[in-house]
Amino acid sequence: MRPEDLPPLPEAPGVYLWKDGVRILYVGKAKNLKARVNSYFHSEGKSLRIAQEATSLEFILARDEVEALLLEANLIKHHRPHYNVLLKDDKHYPFLKLTKEEWPMLLVVRRVQDDGARYWGPFPEASAVRRIKRLIDRYFLLRKNSGYPFRRRRYPCLNHAMGRCLAPCVGQADPESYHTAVKQVEDLLDGKIETLYASLEAQMREAARQQDFERAAEIRDQIAAIRSFFGTAQQAYDPEMGDLDFIGFARAGEYAMLQHYQVRGGQMLGRISRFIEGIGDASDAELLEAFLRDYYLEATPLPPLVLLPFALEVQEAFAAFLSAKGRKVEVRVPQRGEKTRLIELAQKNAQAALETELKLLERKGDHPALKGLMELLGLSRRPHRIEGYDVSNLLGESPVGSIVVFEGGRPKRSEYRRLKIRGLQGRPDDYKALEETLARRFSGSLSRQMPIPDLILIDGGLGQVRAAERGLQQAGLRLPLVGLAKREETLVLPDGRTLALPLTHPALQLLIHIRDETHRNGLTFHRKERSRKALKSIFDDIRGIGPARKRVLLQHFSSLEELRAASLEELARLPGMDRRSAQAVVRALQELPNHPASP
């Protein structure tokens, strides 16, 4: 679609729908329809793709930005457009529903309907709903078994006999007493605990005044049960904090985690988590807005304060949208004090939950980094096998090429290799060493032992990547290559382009892991070389240790630490050794500076 194909757009708030024939591609809202829609043709990425793919545009005017926000939410929920962020979640979180009838009853439901009933939720956990429902069923005498809608019965149920129902179904309930119980349930679920306590205590005093001590004792037990449940059953924060919601957000490449926490009366009620996959180039703001839209379209009752991890353009409009549902709601990003610590807690937990989800994907063989690498590097398939390469030397000596192998995002240590570099003639040259390592890996005996990788990672920048390319050319191969520059953790491509990814991106995290393993593999070789040189120099100076015994000791012990841990008897039992030569070795170890004597 071209800008000249657009219909005349007003400079007014409303909702616009990009369409491809009858299919709706994207639904958006705007304070100024004309300015917002025209901006698509001057954007990049998803916005420009939507405008180019669309064949028509429709719009609906709204009275203000708040009405546009509500209309957008309903249209997205109904049409589920391709380019809108859709939070796919197979969980329907539970609500408590108080029916609107002459004799209301309390139900656990999974959907909110426009039927005049009162709803509370969504609750993060079904177990929490069941506990609250059991408490209410035990101590508040609402009907339970006469159906919805209300139906009369011939005989009262067992709950009436147990003193847990006023039995309106057989005409035995006093309307005033029943509606007092309904009001108390509403106060309890609204978080008006002190109001409820005052009402119950007044009833208890009145029962005692009328010398109905059995009823007074029942109300006393009711108050104690409520205090016990809401005082200790949940994790408490500062009671002065009152009612609020706060949200944590974490993102890694194509994946994100949103966590919503409820605090009521200063107590944590629980959290709702949403793990989102395949988010593409959606911004953090789009993801958070989509979550707020999905959650708060039905959530009730609302707290007076909602805390966000970062600011949104629609923040004020969203606060007005929530306030229009019944009570004034403030939406803000905390800047200091206890509320900033709540957001920090939510962010930390969201990041931990995201890492857990990514590890679960990895265990299932669907490592999240592999798809990301395929898309970032333009590969034809996921790089199941990745080989990492590095070269290192010990103070300019003993250069070695280090090779590590990862399959499915996991290290395959049985195929780690080290190659001693032979073609440098005593002069350090990392580029030549890397070129030799690649050439020998893909043209020597290793080429027959190890399969061809899907991707090669080089520890270094463009110079190292070009050296690796020359090594592959010597072997007659062209394979996907990428370098990882240490300082900036930037991806370097053979054509000179660089890619900077956030440190939390799964693809970058995997490449860093491979690079660090490659480096560690080389260092392990040098530590062993250093230990063996130290051993050789020690044996050269020990009287009674000739070439044959020296060869036996070097074959049996790979490091100075192993030799130091050996006992005199163990040394004497080695082939060609005796007690006198073993004692000579122990004395030599004792004379080493800064090393304790071996036992």
Give the per-residue pLDDT at 233: 39
Pick from 469, 462, 459, 463: which is nearest to 435 by CA?
Answer: 469
**pLDDT value, residue 258:** 93
Which pLDDT value is given to residue 163?
A: 80
- What per-residue confidence (pLDDT) applies to 234? 42
| 346-385: burial string, b at 16+ Cβ within 10 Å, e else | bbebbbebbbebbeebbeeeebbbbbbbbebbeeeebbeb
pLDDT at residue number 259: 92
Q: Please state, in angstroms and as integers, the Cα–Cα distance from residue 297 to each residue in 26, 54, 329, following that order.
A: 19, 28, 14
In order of their start, the domains of the chain are 3-79 (3.40.1440.10), 239-362 (3.30.420.10), 371-527 (3.30.420.340)
Q: Alpha-carbon distance 439 to 164, whole Å? A: 83
**CA separation, residue 103 to residues 143, 162, 164, 300 (Å):** 8, 19, 15, 22
| 269 and 263 Cβ atoms separated by less than 8 Å | yes
Strands (E), 463-588: 481-485, 490-492, 498-499
Angle between helices 368-377 and 338-363 (to 10 degrees): 90
Asked if 57 and 7 count as a contact pair (C-beta separation under 8 A), the reply is yes
Token pair of 185, please? 């349930």
Compute the residue count for the chain.
599
Q: Convert 261-280 to b/e letters by CB count within 10 Å (16 or more is b).
A: bbbbbbbebebbbbbbeebe
Structure confidence at residue 467 (pLDDT): 94
Per-residue confidence (pLDDT) for residue 422, from 0 to 100: 80
What is the gyration radius of the CA atoms in the chain, in angstroms? 36
86-119 burial code (b ≥16 CB/10 A, e <16): eeeeeeebbbbbbbeeebbbbeebeebeeeebbb
| Residue of 245, 269, 270 whose CA lies nearest to 322 | 245
Q: Give the side-chain half-sphere CA count within 13 A for 462.
A: 7
Rounded CA gap, 418 and 389, in Å? Answer: 10
Structure tokens at 85: 């962020």
Q: How many C-alpha atoms does 204 have within 13 Å on its Cβ side? A: 15
Ramachandran assignment for 155, one of left (phi > 0), alpha (psi -120 to 50 degrees), beta (any other): beta
pLDDT tens, the chain, 599 aa long: 888 889 999 999 999 999 998 899 999 999 999 999 999 998 877 888 899 999 999 999 998 888 888 899 889 888 888 888 877 554 567 888 999 999 999 998 888 888 889 888 777 667 768 878 888 888 888 998 888 889 888 888 888 888 888 889 998 889 999 999 999 888 888 777 777 888 888 889 988 988 888 888 888 888 887 776 665 434 444 556 778 999 999 988 778 899 998 887 777 767 788 888 777 678 899 999 989 988 888 787 888 999 999 999 889 999 998 998 878 999 999 998 889 989 998 999 999 888 888 877 776 666 778 888 988 898 888 898 999 999 886 545 667 889 999 988 888 888 999 888 887 665 668 899 899 999 999 988 888 889 899 999 999 999 999 999 999 999 999 999 999 987 788 999 999 999 988 888 889 989 999 999 998 887 777 666 655 565 556 676 677 788 788 778 877 775 666 777 788 888 888 888 888 888 888 888 777 654 433 33
The alpha carbon of 228 is separated from its chain's Cα centroid by a whole number of angstroms, namely 34
Instruction: Pick the closest to residue 292 from 78, 76, 51 (CA basis).
Output: 76
What is the full DSSP assignment across 123-158?
Answer: -S-HHHHHHHHHHHHHHS----SSTTTT---SS--H
Of 32, 54, 30, which Cα lies nearest the Cα of 41? 54
Structure tokens at 100: 């609107």
